[in-house]
Chain A
């Protein structure tokens, strides 16, 4: 019963549009202002200094590309996989700065958003991660431009 609700294709489409839209929005400022986002990355003091710019490019462009893929339905479940990996990285990074007692600019929506790291962000990211999981697990290629390989159900019954 629960699986039928969580696995519904309309819920899946809504999650795709919501997560995809949110990540495209989050990426926008960072892609336009890579130097600003690299600054936020250095603020976390986790990534080696020399690699901070490259890491910032990788995160912001993954957000943009995976977000667009989710909205249009291009390799949808793999795009959700990329979003899930990002979210796990964000959760780990924010936890690390909180445990160390630091407060840094989260950089979540680029320089404009201006929120600081907090436990609320971790809860939010866990909720988003669950959404990405539902897309990975249940997306069947409904309303998609190019959904990629067969549906997960078909693969499970192999």
Chain B
């Protein structure tokens, strides 16, 4: 057992040396990342203790910072003054989405850089949504958008559920 422990301690040494090497290379390469990430993650999703709470939260919750309400979302939609991003995966998006929304699956952002670059200007008003109040994909997407440099990003926290429950227009394979 003694020798296993010494190999693990040696392994920690390997990790330290490799990390230092990575930090040095990251410092000299053009697309390096900030060693300490500034800012804070967007957090609008509600995580109620039980499912029963979740239904209650739909009507009574106070809007978290960075979140917009259903009525605000509808107003932006009617004015066409915001670019709407759908953070759900491609299959859910194909089933149905808010008309005009662009699909940027929250966990595939690097693969969607081209679409972001060509269709979403950095200074645009951007609204992100996912399934429902308890879904945090939109928070993750909003967080990453801010890190990339988007200035005006908010989350429609009620998401797809609230939008469809209200009977607002949708687009996609589902006819409602």
A interface residues with partner B (beta carbon < 8 Å): 31, 33-36, 38-40, 42-43, 45, 49-54, 56-58, 60-62, 64-66, 69, 75, 77-86, 102, 104-105, 111, 114, 116, 133, 136-137, 148, 152, 155-156
Q: Which residues of A contact B41 (CB under 8 A)?
A: 42, 45, 49
Chain A contact surface mostly: helix
A66-B18, A82-B18, A155-B3 as given contacts; A49 in contact with B12, CB under 8 Å = no
The stretch of B25-33, B92-100, B114-122, B166-174 that contacts the partner chain: B25-33
Report which of B21, B35, B39, B108 forms a contact with A61, defined as CB distance below 8 A. Answer: B21
Interface set, chain B 22-70, CB cutoff 8 A to A: 22-23, 25-26, 31-41
Q: Which residues of A contact B36 (CB under 8 A)?
A: 50-51, 53-54
A121 to B110, CA, bound (A): 22
B23 touches A75 (CB 8 A): no
Q: Which residues of A contact B25 (CB under 8 A)?
A: 61
Report which of B2, B12, B110, B140 forms a contact with A111, defined as CB distance below 8 A. Answer: B110
Q: Which residues of A contact B17 (CB under 8 A)?
A: 65
Assess whether B91 is interfacial by the CB under 8 Å rule. no
A53-B37, A61-B19, A85-B8 as given contacts; A79 in contact with B14, CB under 8 Å = yes
